[in-house]
Amino acid sequence: MDLHQVKEHLQSHLSDGLVLVVGSGLSCAEGMPGMGDLAIQLKNEVPTLIRDQDESVWQEIVALLDAGNNLEEALLKVKVSESLEKAIVDVTHEYILSHEKGIVGDVFDRGRVLRFSTLLPHLLKPNSGIPVITTNYDRLIEIASECAGLAVDNSFSGRYVSNFYPRESRFSLCRSVNQKSKKVLLEYAKFVSVFKPHGSLDWFLVNGEPICSELFVSNEKLIITPGANKFRGGYERPFDTHRELANRAIDKGSRYLIIGYGFNDEHLQVHLERQLEKGKPAVVLTRSVSEEFREYIKDKENIWVVSSRPSIDGFQLMLGESVYEFDGYNIWDLDVFVKEVLE
């Protein structure tokens, strides 16, 4: 297989029925911290927020991190109290938000263009919206979409204090109402539907209700951090609705573009893997590939995995049990992918 054939396939893949799945790899490429950085921040900051009854539990987690466990592995092995979980959430929220502010400042003050903004002009814009499922807390996808001229449906309705009304959120994107014969036709703006089963930096719990707003900082943050409590929290509003909407989009989609997602989240993978096993095509852009995922794709030639080459410029294409090596173009990076494949 030569480079021209690879590019042709990747171009033709971005057609009808495309669903995007975006993981932390895309945010990290823009300068957001990864799980390793977050683990260090938690080790530094959590001890300042907890009381005596949580200190011994936190030290167990620190010991697991120091022994080489990643953050999710460590938090899965230790049951934490509500007060310790709150401390973890608060530190995580503040840390991610501080980095997001820096990136957003670059976008609006210095003309920086986010990678996701460059991709959107090359995608079909169905009347039902472009479905984007992300495990990220940050709002870079939403910001990139609006900078590219698309509206965003996030399931909340309102400007300053947005309530969780998925139906109203969609109707707010209606731009005109036309009548043809006896039918009423609604014309919508071109938009992106963003589904965030792990929550968002602008989601809060206010008087027992989920709210989306830029104005709150001290209310309960609605993000689900790694660990055992992720599974409990995932079945509460609005996480459950976003998970259901994400699963519905995955089931309905006919093809997938998966960017910077490591296939390590059980909230998404049941539905996604079920569709991949049916033979639906997918393109995966990722810096690295875990051994578990490499084993998973060995018998699935419907999944094209584009990843980096260790210490060498270029990319490797994994297709079933075959691996093809290409020099020069780091198209596993979305920025390079757009420039070298789509433009």
pLDDT tens digits for the chain (343 residues)? 899 999 999 999 999 999 999 999 999 999 999 999 999 999 999 999 999 889 999 999 999 999 999 998 999 999 899 899 999 999 999 999 999 999 999 999 999 999 999 999 999 999 999 999 999 999 999 999 999 999 999 999 998 999 999 999 999 999 998 888 888 888 999 999 999 999 999 999 999 999 999 888 788 999 998 875 654 555 688 999 999 999 999 999 999 999 999 888 776 788 999 999 999 999 999 999 999 999 999 999 999 999 999 889 999 999 999 999 999 899 999 999 999 999 9
Element spanning 191, H or E: strand 191-195
At 228 the pLDDT is 56
Whole-number Å distance between alpha carbons of 61 and 34 = 18
Contacts of 236 (CB under 8 A, 6+ apart): none
pLDDT at 268: 78
pLDDT at 227: 73
Written as one letter, the residue type at 44 is N
Which tokens sit at 258?
A: 């998966």
Residue range 3-30+114-197+234-342 forms a domain whose CATH class is: alpha beta
Rounded-to-integer distance, Cα 303 and Cα 164, Å: 35
What predicted TM-score, i.e. pTM, was given to this entire model? Answer: 0.94
Beta-bridged to residue 20, according to DSSP, are 132, 257
The pLDDT value recorded for residue 66 is 97
pLDDT of residue 235: 60
Residue 65: the pLDDT is 97
Phi, then psi, of 308 in degrees rounded to 5:
-75, 165
Supply the pLDDT for residue 232.
53
Measured between its terminal Cα atoms, the distance across the chain in Å is 21
Q: Where are the domains of the chain?
A: 3-30+114-197+234-342
Scanning the chain, the segments in alpha helix (DSSP H) are 3-13, 24-29, 35-45, 52-66, 71-77, 82-110, 115-119, 140-147, 166-171, 229-233, 239-252, 266-277, 291-297, 334-337
Q: What's the pLDDT at 143?
A: 98
Q: Quick count: other Cβ atoms within 10 Å of Cβ 220?
A: 14
Helix (H) or strand (E) holding 175: strand 174-180
